[in-house]
Structure 1
Amino acid sequence: MRRLLPAFLLLLLPAFAHGARWSEPDIAGLVTDGAIDEISGLAASRTHPGHYWAINDSGSSAELHLVDGRGRHRGSVPVEGVPNVDWEDLSSFELDGRRYLLIADTGDNGGLRQELQLYVVEEPASLDQPARLAWTRRFRWPDGPRDCEAATVDPVAGDVLLVSKKRVPPELFRVPLRGGDAVVDAEFLGTLRGIAQPSSGDLLKNPVYGRYRAQVTGASLSPNGRVLAVLNYRALHFLVREPGGSWRDALEAEVSALALPWLPQAEAVAFDADGAGLAIGSEQLPSPFLRYRVKPAPR
């Protein structure tokens, strides 16, 4: 399966601190199961080591799907009392000694939704039980509707971080992870600098798809809470927060970029539970299930 990959150079990411670099992307497997035919979000499971939870896009059932490290479907569980209007991202986290998953029902291709939902469910301990809703965060954008396919949880700060999809440059917002039933306004933190936009050549080659290549489709926060990975169709981008620093401060620097090999529609990214790797999934079948690993820099 490695023949599917073009030649790929290792990229050193100075901004990703700690002297680390990413390995060559590994095609861990090929996603072919119809149960996960439109993966829009991935999150590392903390209950099933080495596995990931996945969600499908709008029009699909309200289910969580467990996949192994090769992208093979291992089972599904329903999410009780939660509709799938337009699920777009998934995040796993621990809080007060309990394991949770956040489902971001934030997709809005038409820019029409006045209110969005963030559903927090308890991570299922087995595939024999449904995922139970723990709480819901209702929010709206401060200046009107927008599409958003990227969300992740910062449990230490008690925030959900969200990145807009179609705005140029992409915008970073925060919403409190916990709170009451009232609808809250997302807080604008700033814009992500340095995400390359389609060139004239991209638009000439494919006038329709070319303009979407730079739009943000997924996000994941490293377990140490310092590295925000932001995905689009052409690259992974990394925004790094200094120890004790804020995301507003981090936005003063340009993001680092790690070019992706070809994928039909990269829409889901997840840090491994230990932070030593990343998984990337696609919204089409069949598609490669990509894995990157952090390699220590030579001494």
Structure 2
Amino acid sequence: MTRASRPTPLPTALAVLATLALALAGCSGSTGDEPGSRLSGALVDPQLSEISGLAASRRHRDVLWLHDDGGNPERLFAVSTGGARRATFRLAGVPKTDWEDIAAFELDGRRYLLIADTGDNGGLRRTLQLHVVEEPATLKNARLKPAWSIAFRWPDGARDCEAVAVDAARGQVLLVSKKRQPPELFAVPLRPTDTGLQTATLLGRLAGVPRPDAAAVQRSPRGARLEGQVTAADLSPDGRTLAVMTYRYLLLYRRAPRQDWGRAVAQPARVQPLPWLPQAEALGWAADGRSLYATGEFVPAPLYRIAP
């Protein structure tokens, strides 16, 4: 979510520090509402503020790729699974309007990262961009160039999108809308046959996204409205489970053999509450596919490993 850079509000910062203190004190290793959530580390580096995308490296063990929001330089961070920044990479020749998600994938024996410049809070953008870079072999500050880029548009007018995933086996980039209810699932080609402007194809709509009850709406109308908005997504390494994050929930859509994604997301998701996060914005499967990493937009922020 693009916004002017600002320090973490004091109550939020204190809540983060309290969460970290409890975890470090060894409170049974669990730090959230969900018993399968464990603290992996913490983001305390000021450079890692406004994180909006996370993907686990397919090339470097125990390394996560993070990026920040619009209004910041065109850069990727290589971060340990404990939260320590190991290297910063600048992307050459790539504008940054509103980067909102990142996905790691393998294609033709090479390991890549896809960066989604798809944020559109105001609903004003007529075209959007996806940039693919090859994962660097060495974690040392450097500049990267895109291997290829994809320009696309929505078929029926602007919408905000903060969640992407790559299904390399099917040659698709999957995109989930943020504010529309139910959220919509679109696809664009991962390797278009032409370099022109692509048009995203609607695959279906996500079933089973929790809706706030009347009591929640009465307590906090704005907060209740945000609960079901989609902020991140990722596809498991085996290509079978699409994980979708909202501000409050983790949703898991399992695809049966020979089933397309439109039909898969039309079935109710398995839903579990997220552990406490200061504005949940970033989610990615671990490289082994057994868990997911998640973090929030403010610093300091907990970095969780979630067992689905």
For 2:85 and 2:219, locate their aligned partners in 1 and report how far apart those are by CA, in whole Å: 35
SS of the counterpart of 1:249? helix
Matched, 1:105 2:117: yes
Distance 2:190 2:86 in 1: 29
Note if contact 1:65-1:75 (Cα within 8 Å) is conserved in structure 2: yes
Q: Which residues in structure 2 correspond to 1:271-290 (within 5 Å)?
A: 271-290=285-304
**Alpha-carbon shift at residue 184 of structure 1 (Å):** 1.2
C-alpha distance after superposition, 1:1-59 (max 9, x if no partner): 3737666454xxxxxxxxxxxxx201112211111101100011122111100010110
Partner residue of 1:115? 127
* Aligned residue among 213, 217, 221 for 1:203: 217
Q: What letter corresponds to residue 278 of structure 2 in structure 1?
A: P
SS at match of 2:210: coil
Please give the secondary structure, in 1, of the residue aligned with 2:87.
strand
In structure 2, what is the equivalent of residue 132 of structure 1?
A: 145
Q: How far did 1:210 drift?
A: 3.1
Aligned residue in 1 for 2:16: none
Contact 2:34 2:273 in 1 (8 A): no
The answer to whether 1:47 aligns with 2:59 is yes
Q: Is 2:269 the partner of 1:255?
A: yes
TM-score by length of 2: 0.87
- How far the C-alpha of 1:214 sits from its partner, in A, is 1.1
Q: Does the 8 Å CA contact 2:185/2:262 hold for their aligned counterparts? A: no
Stretch moving more, 1-10 or 285-294: 1-10
1:162 matched to 2:181? The reply is no
- Aligned 8 A contact 1:124 1:130 in 2: no
Partner of 1:285, secondary structure, is coil
**1:190 maps to which of 187, 204, 220:** 204
Cα distance between partner residues in 1 of 2:307 and 2:121: 33
Residue 166 of structure 2 is aligned with which of 137, 144, 153?
153
Rate the CA distance shift 1:191–1:145 in 2: closer, same or farther, 3 A: same
Q: CA deviation at 1:249?
A: 2.0
CA distance in 2, matches of 1:186, 1:238: 23
Mean alpha-carbon deviation: is it higher for 146-155 or for 26-35? 26-35
Q: Which has the higher helix share?
A: 2
Gaps of 5+ in 1: 11-23, 295-299
Q: Equivalences for 1:212-223 in 2 at 5 Å?
A: 212-223=226-237
Q: What residue in structure 1 maps to residue 8 of structure 2?
A: none
DSSP 3-state at the match of 2:281: strand
Q: 1:48 to 1:6 in 2, by over 3 A?
A: closer
**Structure 2 match to 1:3:** 22
8 A contact 2:33–2:276 mirrored in 1: no
User: Contact conserved, 2:32 with 2:276, CA < 8 A, in 1?
Assistant: no
CA displacement, residues 159-191 of structure 1 (integer Å, 9 cap, x when unaligned): 000000000000000100011221111000110
> In the alignment, what sits opposite 1:71?
83
Distance in 1 (CA, whole Å) between partners of 2:172 and 2:32 is 39
Render the CA deviation track for 1:126-182: whole Å, top value 9, x for unaligned: 224322211111111111000000001100000000000000000000100011221
Q: Extract unaligned runs of 5+ from structure 2.
A: 1-19, 24-29
| 3-state DSSP of counterpart to 2:230 | coil
Contact 2:56 2:64 in 1 (8 A): yes
The SS at the match of 2:144 is coil
Q: Secondary structure at the match of 1:133?
A: coil
Q: Is the 8 A contact 1:242 1:250 kept in 2?
A: yes
Residues 116-125 or 215-224, more deviating: 116-125
Output the aligned Cα RMSD. Answer: 1.6
